Amino acid sequence: MKENNLTIYNSLSRKKEKFEPLNPPFTGMYVCGPTVYGDAHLGHARPAVTFDLVFRYLKFLGYKVRYVRNITDVGHLENDADAGEDKIAKRARLEQIEPMEVVQYYTDRYHGDMDLLNVMKPSIEPRASGHIIEQIEMVKKILSQGFAYESEGSVYFDVTKYNNEHHYGILSGRKLEDMIATTRELEGQEEKKNPADFALWKKAQPEHIMRWPSPWSEGFPGWHLECSVMGTKYLGEHFDIHGGGMDLLFPHHESEIAQSVAANGRHPVKYWVHNNMITLNGQKMGKSLGNAISLQDFFAGNHRLLEKPYSPMNIRFFILQAHYRSTLDFSNEALQGSEKGFRRLMSAYSLLEKIKPAGNSTFDVNAFRSRCLEAMDDDFNSPVLIATLFDGIKHINGLKEGKESLTQNDLESFRTTYREFIFDVLGLLPEEDDSKGELVSSLMQTILSVRQKVRAEKNFALSDMIRDELARINIKIKDTKEGAEWEIGE
Ligand code: ZN
């Protein structure tokens, strides 16, 4: 275990806290994964990349991390409410296939997208439908503690009763009175004592396909229950980090806390961590809002709002260029800007790999490395880390031009710093196209310097021939005072 100064912003205390895991060097992290009823979009990529960064950095610091990210395959009803059709069952009905075929198909697609984004696999990826027995057990426990009631074959969490002894709203900062006043009375909710109560178990309607036997009815678990159950099962009744998108803070995570406190008598999580949303022209992005662009469409450039394809590493870099607690607004301009930045960083890094040690060290490599660590220790501040890595490019260029130098040891540690922070921590990968582009660019530099020599010897026939031959393959040469420039024609 290395010494570290990591601080994490805790949504529960609403301030940054020093990271002190319950059981070092072990630490546990639970993150709410996708409901698999359609292709992943940019809004799914953000929590995945955010908590991948957290996972990677905790490992980098030497922690043994058990990372649990669930798959929701049952119980997530439309509009996140206790009424309406199950999102997966609805897709199965529309496509006339078995619900678990929908789950398998979109889980595989999700994994494919995550692999392309270089998101590491979680240690455990449990499914809600694989934990029905444990969910029934937890409902029994909450009932026996008196914080739930049965009504018409369904079981509801008694929010009012809970709030008299504990605080329903501790995470979101909401007050129960306000919640009750603003909760809409939805159809099919008459069986609740109070509109703020939420389902722990729902009796299945005759047309509902996904159903399991229980002491109360044939039915299915409420959406919030699975995460309490699977978090407890794999990480214990009290664990270090629980993450997810800000949109899950209420009611999902608020209800998770209430369920765990009601069943186990203790608050389940030490650090609650939430990533902010991705907006599209300032508007929230979401499948239910109809403005979500799938990741596959981004990779293929296949959407009316996209000017061109954007590679997975470009998307990853774009997400990491904003701090996870800031909103991130999508635009073609922003993505193209971050694409340039990504290429610049990667080519500076490959240049660094080719530099030779020389003389004395003209700058402090340890101080540079400390700045990188400080950025990440400050609540995983990836944009500051990236800015620091960009800052180092002037040293890389100085080294290349011979204006600066590093000893063998310092050069090695400068390289290691770049390598570790770019690949291990930020999880970026060099793109194949980039390396080809780089090869073309070094070839062109070679051709242009030969041509420069030919011109200096006043062999204009040969120099024009080189220019014309290149023009034939659509490469244009422009002679300027500083030398020749080249570009690929339209
Ligand atoms: Zn969850």
Q: What is the pLDDT of residues 433-444, one digit of tens each?
A: 555 666 777 788
Q: Tell me the CA–centroid distance for residue 232 and ligand 1, in Å.
A: 12
Amino acid identity of residue 11, one-letter, is S
C-alpha to C-alpha distance for 126 and 124, rounded to whole angstroms = 6
Dihedral angle computed from the Cα positions of residues 410, 416, 422 and 423, in that order, rounded to the nearest 10 degrees: 170
Whether residue 184 is found in the same domain as residue 54: yes
Residue 185 in any domain: the answer is yes
Residue 75: pLDDT band with limits 50, 70, 90: confident
In this structure, are residues 49 and 316 in contact, taking their beta carbons and an 8 Å threshold? yes
Residue 123 has pLDDT above 70, yes or no: yes
Q: Tell me the CA–centroid distance for residue 349 and ligand 1, in Å.
A: 39
Residue 50: pLDDT band with limits 50, 70, 90: very high
Q: What is the pLDDT at residue 4?
A: 84
Q: Tell me the CA–centroid distance for residue 220 and ligand 1, in Å.
A: 16
Q: What is the pLDDT at residue 391?
A: 97
Whether residue 148 is found in the same domain as residue 66: yes
Residue 238 has pLDDT above 70, yes or no: yes
Q: Tell me the CA–centroid distance for residue 308 and ligand 1, in Å.
A: 34
Between CA 287 and CA 292, with CA 288 as vertex, the angle to 5 degrees is 25
Q: Tell me the CA–centroid distance for residue 132 and ligand 1, in Å.
A: 15
Q: Considering 256, 275, 294, which residue would you say is the last residue of a domain?
A: 275
Q: What average pLDDT score do residues 472-483 get? A: 82
Whether residue 426 is found in the same domain as residue 471: no
Lowest-confidence segment of 120-124, 132-136, 185-189 by average pLDDT: 185-189
Residue 396: pLDDT band with limits 50, 70, 90: very high
Query: What pLDDT, in 10s, does the model give residues 160-187?
Result: 999 999 999 999 999 888 877 766 655 5
Whether residue 271 is found in the same domain as residue 287: no
Q: Considering 275, 307, 342, which residue would you say is the last residue of a domain?
A: 275
Residue 118 has pLDDT above 60, yes or no: yes
Q: What percent of the chain has pLDDT over 70?
A: 94
More confident residue, 479 or 241: 241
Residue 2 in any domain: the answer is no
Give the domain range for residue 28.
9-275
Residue 128 has pLDDT above 70, yes or no: yes
Q: What average pLDDT score do residues 78-94 get? A: 79
Residue 3 in any domain: the answer is no
Q: What average pLDDT score do residues 247-251 get? A: 94
In this structure, are residues 339 and 314 in contact, taking their beta carbons and an 8 Å threshold? yes
As a whole number of Å, the end-to-end CA separation of the chain is 55
Q: Tell me the CA–centroid distance for residue 169 and ligand 1, in Å.
A: 17
Q: How many CB atoms lie within 10 A of CB 214?
A: 20
In CATH, what number is assigned to the domain containing residue 107? 3.40.50.620
Q: Tell me the CA–centroid distance for residue 470 and ligand 1, in Å.
A: 58
In CATH, what number is assigned to the domain containing residue 331? 1.20.120.640
* Per-chain mean pLDDT for the chain: 91
Q: Considering 275, 291, 324, which residue would you say is the last residue of a domain?
A: 275
Whether residue 238 is found in the same domain as residue 296: no
Whether residue 146 is found in the same domain as residue 210: yes
Residue 378 has pLDDT above 90, yes or no: yes
How buried is 336 (Cβ within 10 angstroms: 0-12 exposed, 13-18 middle, 19+ buried)?
middle
Residue 17: pLDDT band with limits 50, 70, 90: very high
Q: How many CB atoms lie within 10 A of CB 320?
A: 25
Q: Tell me the CA–centroid distance for residue 373 and ligand 1, in Å.
A: 30
Residue 2 has pLDDT above 70, yes or no: no
Ligand 1 ion: residues within 5 Å (CB): 32, 227
Q: Tell me the CA–centroid distance for residue 32 and ligand 1, in Å.
A: 4
Q: What is the pLDDT at residue 435?
A: 57
CA proximity to 328, closest of 315, 341, 339, 340 = 315
Q: Tell me the CA–centroid distance for residue 30 and ligand 1, in Å.
A: 9
Residue 4 in any domain: the answer is no
Residue 1 in any domain: the answer is no
The torsion angles phi and psi of 358, rounded to 5 degrees, stand at: -160, 145
Whether residue 168 is found in the same domain as residue 233: yes
Residue 283: pLDDT band with limits 50, 70, 90: confident
How buried is 367 (Cβ within 10 angstroms: 0-12 exposed, 13-18 middle, 19+ buried)?
exposed
Q: What is the pLDDT at residue 49?
A: 98
Residue 255 in any domain: the answer is yes
Q: What average pLDDT score do residues 148-164 get? A: 96
Q: What is the pLDDT at residue 86?
A: 84
Q: Tell me the CA–centroid distance for residue 309 and ligand 1, in Å.
A: 32
Q: Tell me the CA–centroid distance for residue 111 and ligand 1, in Å.
A: 18
In this structure, are residues 194 and 160 in contact, taking their beta carbons and an 8 Å threshold? yes
How many independent structural domains does the chain possess? 3
Whether residue 60 is found in the same domain as residue 77: yes
Whether residue 176 is found in the same domain as residue 291: no
Whether residue 168 is found in the same domain as residue 265: yes
Whether residue 267 is found in the same domain as residue 381: no
C-alpha to C-alpha distance for 48 and 125, rounded to whole angstroms = 13
Whether residue 26 is found in the same domain as residue 99: yes
Q: What average pLDDT score do residues 413-422 get? A: 98
Q: Tell me the CA–centroid distance for residue 244 and ligand 1, in Å.
A: 7
